[in-house]
Structure 1
Amino acid sequence: MKYLYGLLLSAGILTSAFSQSPFNQTIRGRIIDKESKFPLSDVTVQLLEGTSTGTLTDSLGRYRIANVPLGRRTIRITRIGYKEALLNNIIVDAGRETILDVELEESITELASITVKAQRTGDARNEMAMVSARQFTVDEADRYAGSRGEPARMASNFAGVQGADDSRNDIVIRGNSPSGVLWRVEGITIPNPNHFAIAGTTGGPVSIINNKMLANSDFFTGAFPSEYGNAIAGVFDLRLRNGNNEKHQRMFQFGFLGTEGSLEGPISKKKGSSYFVSYRYANLWLFKKAGIDIGTQAVPSYQDASFRLNFPLKNNAKLALWGFGGTSTIDLLISEQEVSDRNIFGQNDRDQYYTSRMGVVGLTYEKPLSRQSFLKITLAESGNVQDANHDYVFFQYDANGLPVVENNRYKITGKAPILDYRFAEIKTSLAASMNHKFSPRSILKAGLNTDLFSFHFLDSVRVVTTLPNTPAQLGPWEYRWDSRQTALLVQPYVQWRVNLVDRLTLSAGLTSLYFSLNNRSFSPLEPRAGLAWDLPNRQKLSVALGLHSQIQPTYTYFYGNDLHHPTKATSLFNQNVGLTKSWHYVTSYDRLLGRNLRLKLEAYYQKLFNVPVEEQRSSFSILNTGSGFTRVFPGKLVNSGTGRNYGAEATLEKFFSEGYYFLVTGSLFDAKYKGSDGVLRNTDFNGKYAFNAVFAKEFTFRKTSLNVGAKFTAIGGRRYGPVDVAKSQAAQEIIYQSDGRNTLQFPDYRRLDLKVDYKINRNRLTHTIAVDLVNILGTQNILTLSYAPQPDGSFIKQEYQLGFLPVFYYRIDF
């Protein structure tokens, strides 16, 4: 901890060098119509909280409020004929202007009619969503304790979402596999946006996406609108923000997770064009220096960068060139670790060298065609690569078959390569959509999403044969993947929202999904529908249903058996596996209990079918994959499996006011599946319940502010089964008995996080010193079982999650 104290002291000395008086800041932005994106003039933008400061937008929808006091503010936006927008918890700092671009939704009521409900913080940006949707902000990812500034970890606070793996940010939604989550940016689907990504997963230890690049975005947990295809669990729909088009602004941050910086400002003040660039490099060596346990003695290395260039065009059109990407490397060297060292990221019989890369670059064109229509087109190129090499480690064993230990290290007699793979996937994507507003009561959105995949999967392996009291034997090299193919994914959709009568809104849509790899991956029509009824006393009742489908993790289509064996023909087991499908049924109740207090209740049922399971009798199901650092090697798959999830969720949220906020969420659920053996079992993710409580209090002083927040998480433990001792010893890895799969459960997961950040405002400068104390009580939560031969003859080892993890950073905005 002495390093942490030294960093805090250094930051304090640095801030003392800037002793000028704090000053006010500017809030500005642009107000547009939500559906047509047409600029709105004569909109009243008012700063609340005891002041009448306000302004009107000009003919281009622009507004500016100068001399705004620093701190957290509430903004009210009103215009005749439009729903009021109430924005809570807007942070105003000295180091940067606050730019708020807001979309107003047209009201269907006449001026003399009833008062319309305000659009508030947390309401989804997507107007077609009736249930299971929430807008999240960059500030939420920053301020929630334990979130480490990442959208995925921040989302684990929401009802129905689990994130009970300290080493990864996988999102388990309502008992579904994390691989059922779709990540979208600017309308196009992107690869797994995390460092150290493994094929078939959507999570990882550290996000590549810089949250400071994000605008307000949407997160869906079920029954999502028809524009979202190829997902059965949830959707992250991310929006990117533009850089400041009037002033140059800079940010520098140093902390345990990385050193990073960003620049933004105008390219041409006259034309309103802007730029934003950022870069980050990992500082995880600091954890090792400070003696902090991160689950391995290896020091991960990663770096990432992002950019966005925005160019306003004539007639309110605009063009944006954007991109982000990252690379990550880790060497897990069992041959060099001590007996007491932990290794929760790899296997205990080999040295592993792993590299992953991911990147995407896109061009987005937006144009209001009229006051009723809006066009958006995004063209993007993305790619991801995973490259790994494994060397088998030959341990020296004694006469009793136990590994020999010298100086707290296992004695090694040699190493030999046993695995080499490189998975690469390149994708060209086009997303085009058009909104048309027939009237305030009737809005239509139609579009097309296409992805052209290019696959190159190469994998070779040597089988290791181990027998008691004999040296391990290595077989010849065999190929499991050797494929260069292309495939096209096409998803057209249409969605219509109509107000049937005052207070009753219908959203109905159709979509279709076609994947050209085989003739079984076609879903001709998928209906989606939702109905929302605004009740008296600020209440709302909603119902929704939808049919959803998803292709399989792409590498599973090309798995073979000894593809280049001289006496065997090429055999691809799963080229003809079809889509996984799921029906979602959701009902929701919302009520505003006060000006800043909201209660939300949801109940759901999900029916999964056409789930890939093994053709031979087994407990395997694709529904149990998608988390962790390992790939899946199933036998021949058929679409005959099923699953079902149901549950109830509650959210009580107090928006930031009077210096504090809180968010309490709870869910009870049951997630089960059937493999080819026909037995109804718990899924790997059926923890039965999840509970989160987040609270933060801000103390404001004349020149500074102190924010203290806490988060408590309680989640049912992961499922597992009895270990097959003979097979595990032969394979030197944990293999569970198929018949007893998921009949056992690890103890419940518990974690308490505390976050403290101290902000100092100076003349055109904002300093932030923050410490996120993850698992402050050091609770030992079991992660998994691993194969680790011990001197006492046992080989089953309980691997624990990360313990106490202090995440420190110092940031300066200027």
Structure 2
Amino acid sequence: MLKRIVFLLLTAFSLQVTAQELTQTIRGVIKDKEAKFALIGATGAITTLDNKGAVADENGNYIFENVPVGRHTLKFSYIGYEDVVLNNIVVDAGKEVILDVEMQESLSQLMEVVVKARRNGAAKNEMAMISARQFSVEEADRYAGSRGEPARMASNFAGVQGADDSRNDIVIRGNSPSGVLWRVEGVTIPNPNHFAIPGTSGGPVSIINNKYLANSDFFTGAFPAEFGNGTAGVFDLKLRNGNNQNHEFMVQFGFLGTEAMAEGPLNKEKGSSYLATYRYANLWMFDKLGVDIGTAAVPKYQDGFLRFNFPQKDGAEVSLWAFGGNSTIDILISDQTIEDRNIFGSNDRDQYYSTRMGVAGLTYSKPIKKKTFLKATLAASTNLQDANHDYVLLNSDAEGNPIVEGDRYSINRLIPLLDYVFDETKLTGVVSVNQKYSARSTLKFGINTELVNFESYDSARVVTPLPELNITPWDTRWLSNKNYLQLQPYLQWKYFLNEKWTMSLGATSFYSSINENSFSAIEPRAGLTYELGNGNKISLATGLHSQMQSPYTYFYGNNISENNLNYLNPDMGLTKSWHFVAGYNRLVGKNMRLLFETYYQKLFNIPIEVDPTSSFSMVNSGAGFSRIFPNRLVNEGTGRNYGAELTLEKFFSDGFYFLTTASLFDAKYIGADGVLRNTDFNGKYAFNALFAKEIKFRRSALSLGAKFTAVGGRWYGPVDETASAAAQEIVYEDEGRNTLQFAPYRRLDAKIDYKINRRGLTHTIAIDLVNPLGIQNILSLSYAPQPDGTFIKQEYQLGFLPVFFYRVNF
């Protein structure tokens, strides 16, 4: 059936009449990398074409007109600067290519210029020395199984693995997903996912849409000093401006949503522009087609983005931007059959859950006298979760087993069980300055300031159906309306000792007024690289990193009231981690690179329980759909992660691309019981192999891609069956925590993408075949009473998930 559909699509869209060659425009601005001033007179050339050149005007603007559709390589040059080579720039008929270029000043004198080309893929951040990678929108679309999301795309990189199929949390070098820092335009943002759970950084569906992102950076360790309050990794996302010369539109329909985008000029003469997107979920289609998404409930969500950009005199810009989304899902166990799966919630209750997240900001940037670049952003954000649960009381027989009527359990009644609202509002001010002293020396400094309000309410009770029904009184576990201030000043100095040695030294500090223990005075950062020649180099880096816990963990307690704020952990301090990384990068020919990195991380001040027999540690939090409910915590836990990573990547050339990454690692921790244990995320190894092949036709292109992933299984412990039966949920034996391991995770994905160009129009048809082999991978154990009296059920990851879309750019 699938072959027939593909054949019909190819036949229908490949019928073309003879006409002149389709072309499009490539344009942008050429700037200095550090100080961001325009490089007047810089030249550009399309090396895949003859006689196609451009020169930057007095504002740094360049333009290539009448560029044939397809893939092209661009080269930019300027006297006293290193060349920049950008490979595989995709040109479509339906959309102009707007490509801003930043060039690094050369250390060589004009008479001694040594040609060194900077290629795409290197991190945009000028202070990044190691464990950093730039990712593009084109890459996010290329990777099979990524669904166009930054987090799922990053799970293919060395040292990174996904948490599970149902969520896009990422585990970096064995660390908790909650240690990942998300930033947009320099502003720390809340969890940017629909159906987000407090204390996590991921979710089932990303709110962030790659269609409005510019090329961005991803860090996996020893990141520069500007990034604070994060211990695992950083997504440093950049937003693009809309087209300031022509109006362009996009419409997309697919399983994950119906989308629309519009961009264009507000004033062509002044260069101002707008960009707007909107998406509405179509997940009801999965239900109608019988596709398993892990639950019988139909999630609903919508999200959008808006950006206005206003160029000012002397290269300054003012941008107003906003994005956000809301989501809701009603998981009604009372309506489900016995065979229905429910990996997103508990099997003993109806759950009504909604979330809302949004960020709005005003950004001002200005290059000053070719030596200084100033950027400042004022932003406001909100992050809300609202939940209600009703316990599903089943009818049971004389032996306590649930009564089955047809394909459903017999339900006695619904009992209100839980009601909570968590609402975090934040006002953020960010100022950064790049000061360029010479071609050798650049200093970057700034401060991030956040004023946070955290409001929470949670009231719950316990229902014990056996041996006789018992319902406890309501217990208020969260009740807060807390304001606190967070400050993170930083500075980072980069110095080229000579053409081979580059050094970076920096320091940051973090302070939160949430309590007196949330202060880290000095966190040093340092890096060193040595160029071996021919694109090969050795890199070293180290840094101390700290992080607060999620706000909700500070204000949890029992029987809280306005007159009795009996919180368990109001004085919890910062978690800290030393990172040590060494790497070797080697170019293999013109279009391939080999990257090897090894690392060691020392984790300390980790919150663990006071109970000396407890194995609990916050290193295991941050993934899944449940909050955590620890007892009294102290910052006395430790841990250590170490490993080695290998990347072999062939950049897109000759019509194909591949990426192979392999990681061997070990992540362990020590809780209050003093036992060295595996963390939940210590899979021991991770392997990814991806490839993409493009077959070009006259006005169209067919892309075929695939990915294979193999990861070590998650760790867990023996189930305490007596405690689980009493609590009506899975309770593990504390002493045996993480002594058992699920079977290894395996998954094969495939992707088919067909693009058709017409004059001023581009059609794209794509289908992402996630796990087409239907491989069953264990996700977790859940409490699910069965007619035979058993209640431990193995929950499996998602099976085959076809993700289809049709897009038109015009």
1:400 CA drift (Å): 2.1
Query: Does the 8 Å CA contact 1:282/1:301 hold for their aligned counterparts?
Result: yes
The aligned counterpart of 2:557 is: 560
Distance in 2 between residues matched to 1:7 and 1:380, nearest whole Å: 46
| Pairing 1:520–2:514 present | no
Distance in 1 between residues matched to 2:289 and 2:626, nearest whole Å: 29
Distance in 1 between residues matched to 2:515 and 2:493, nearest whole Å: 31
Distance in 2 between residues matched to 1:569 and 1:180, nearest whole Å: 32
The aligned counterpart of 2:470 is: 473
- The letter for the 2-side match of 1:241 is R
Distance in 1 between residues matched to 2:540 and 2:683, nearest whole Å: 26
Distance in 2 between residues matched to 1:599 and 1:51, nearest whole Å: 32
Q: Show CA shifts across 1:314-341 (max 9, x none).
A: 1110000001000000000000000011
Distance in 1 between residues matched to 2:101 and 2:72, nearest whole Å: 16
Distance in 1 between residues matched to 2:18 and 2:307, nearest whole Å: 34
When the two structures are aligned, how many residues end up with a matched partner? 809
Q: Show CA shifts across 1:208-250 (max 9, x none).
A: 0111000000000000000000000000000000000000000
The aligned counterpart of 1:606 is: 601
Q: 2:722 aligns with which of 722, 726, 732?
A: 726
Q: 1:581 aligns with which of 566, 576, 581?
A: 576
SS at match of 2:462: strand
Q: Show CA shifts across 1:541-573 (max 9, x none).
A: 0100000000011100000111139xx943111
Q: Show CA shifts across 1:544-603 (max 9, x none).
A: 0000000011100000111139xx943111110000000000001001111111110000
The aligned counterpart of 1:545 is: 542
Distance in 2 between residues matched to 1:281 and 1:79, nearest whole Å: 46
Query: Does the 8 Å CA contact 1:466/1:731 hold for their aligned counterparts?
Result: no
Distance in 2 between residues matched to 1:19 and 1:744, nearest whole Å: 65
Q: How does 1:435-514 map to 2 (within 5 A)?
A: 435-468=434-467, 470=468, 472-514=469-511
| Pairing 1:263–2:259 present | no
- The letter for the 1-side match of 2:78 is R
Distance in 2 between residues matched to 1:510 and 1:147, nearest whole Å: 35
User: Is there any run of 5+ residues in structure 1 with no aligned partner, and where?
Assistant: none
Q: Given the superposition, is the C-alpha separation of residues 22 and 560 from structure 1 closer, same or farther in structure 2, using an over 3 Å criterion?
A: farther
- The letter for the 2-side match of 1:678 is G
Distance in 2 between residues matched to 1:742 and 1:112, nearest whole Å: 63
Distance in 1 between residues matched to 2:606 and 2:175, nearest whole Å: 12
Q: Given the superposition, is the C-alpha separation of residues 42 and 173 from structure 1 closer, same or farther in structure 2, using an over 3 Å criterion?
A: same
Q: Given the superposition, is the C-alpha separation of residues 339 and 73 from structure 1 closer, same or farther in structure 2, using an over 3 Å criterion?
A: same
The aligned counterpart of 1:433 is: 432
Query: Does the 8 Å CA contact 1:660/1:696 hold for their aligned counterparts?
Result: yes
1:474 CA drift (Å): 1.2
Q: Given the superposition, is the C-alpha separation of residues 555 and 15 from structure 1 closer, same or farther in structure 2, using an over 3 Å criterion?
A: farther
Q: Given the superposition, is the C-alpha separation of residues 338 and 495 from structure 1 closer, same or farther in structure 2, using an over 3 Å criterion?
A: same
The aligned counterpart of 2:341 is: 342
The aligned counterpart of 2:94 is: 95
| TM-score normalised per structure 1 | 0.97
Percent of paired sites with the same residue = 64
1:290 CA drift (Å): 1.0
Distance in 2 between residues matched to 1:216 and 1:85, nearest whole Å: 15
Q: Given the superposition, is the C-alpha separation of residues 605 and 116 from structure 1 closer, same or farther in structure 2, using an over 3 Å criterion?
A: farther
Distance in 2 between residues matched to 1:749 and 1:171, nearest whole Å: 15
The aligned counterpart of 1:659 is: 655
1:13 CA drift (Å): 6.5
1:5 CA drift (Å): 8.2
Query: Does the 8 Å CA contact 1:527/1:546 hold for their aligned counterparts?
Result: yes
The aligned counterpart of 2:803 is: 807
SS at match of 2:99: strand
SS at match of 1:216: strand
SS at match of 1:335: helix
Distance in 2 between residues matched to 1:718 and 1:105, nearest whole Å: 44
| Pairing 1:252–2:237 present | no
Q: Show CA shifts across 1:709-763 (max 9, x none).
A: 1111000011111001111111111111111001011011000100000000001
Q: Given the superposition, is the C-alpha separation of residues 17 and 437 from structure 1 closer, same or farther in structure 2, using an over 3 Å criterion?
A: same
SS at match of 1:288: helix
SS at match of 1:170: strand
Q: Given the superposition, is the C-alpha separation of residues 788 and 22 from structure 1 closer, same or farther in structure 2, using an over 3 Å criterion?
A: farther
Q: Quote the RMSD (CA, aligned, Å).
A: 1.7
| Pairing 1:615–2:614 present | no
SS at match of 2:112: coil
Query: Does the 8 Å CA contact 2:303/2:326 hold for their aligned counterparts?
Result: yes
1:616 CA drift (Å): 1.1
Deviates more, 1:106-115 or 1:758-767: 106-115
Distance in 2 between residues matched to 1:485 and 1:712, nearest whole Å: 46
Query: Does the 8 Å CA contact 1:430/1:451 hold for their aligned counterparts?
Result: yes
| Pairing 1:360–2:355 present | no
SS at match of 2:669: strand
- The letter for the 2-side match of 1:538 is G
Q: Show CA shifts across 1:583-642 (max 9, x none).
A: 000001001111111110000000000000011120110110000000011111100000
| Pairing 1:529–2:526 present | yes
| TM-score normalised per structure 2 | 0.98
1:127 CA drift (Å): 1.2
- The letter for the 1-side match of 2:502 is T
SS at match of 2:273: strand
1:20 CA drift (Å): 7.0
Query: Does the 8 Å CA contact 1:45/1:54 hold for their aligned counterparts?
Result: yes
Distance in 1 between residues matched to 2:459 and 2:17, nearest whole Å: 59
The aligned counterpart of 2:294 is: 295
Q: Given the superposition, is the C-alpha separation of residues 17 and 280 from structure 1 closer, same or farther in structure 2, using an over 3 Å criterion?
A: farther
1:12 CA drift (Å): 8.2
Distance in 1 between residues matched to 2:19 and 2:279, nearest whole Å: 30
Q: Show CA shifts across 1:506-555 (max 9, x none).
A: 00001000010111110000000000100123210010000000001110
The aligned counterpart of 1:201 is: 200
| Pairing 1:594–2:593 present | no
Q: How does 1:642-657 map to 2 (within 5 A)?
A: 642-657=638-653
Distance in 2 between residues matched to 1:372 and 1:603, nearest whole Å: 36
- The letter for the 2-side match of 1:462 is R
Distance in 2 between residues matched to 1:27 and 1:808, nearest whole Å: 29
Query: Does the 8 Å CA contact 1:333/1:352 hold for their aligned counterparts?
Result: yes
SS at match of 2:474: strand
Q: Given the superposition, is the C-alpha separation of residues 375 and 153 from structure 1 closer, same or farther in structure 2, using an over 3 Å criterion?
A: same
Query: Does the 8 Å CA contact 1:156/1:171 hold for their aligned counterparts?
Result: yes
Query: Does the 8 Å CA contact 1:19/1:762 hold for their aligned counterparts?
Result: no
Distance in 2 between residues matched to 1:490 and 1:755, nearest whole Å: 44
Query: Does the 8 Å CA contact 1:596/1:655 hold for their aligned counterparts?
Result: yes
- The letter for the 1-side match of 2:210 is N
User: Is there any run of 5+ residues in structure 2 with no aligned partner, and where?
Assistant: none
Q: Show CA shifts across 1:167-203 (max 9, x none).
A: 0000100000000000000001000000000000000
1:108 CA drift (Å): 1.0
Distance in 1 between residues matched to 2:16 and 2:380, nearest whole Å: 45
- The letter for the 1-side match of 2:602 is K
The aligned counterpart of 1:415 is: 414
Q: Show CA shifts across 1:16-59 (max 9, x none).
A: 79997651111111100111110111111111125341111111
- The letter for the 1-side match of 2:574 is L
Q: How does 1:737-752 map to 2 (within 5 A)?
A: 737-752=733-748
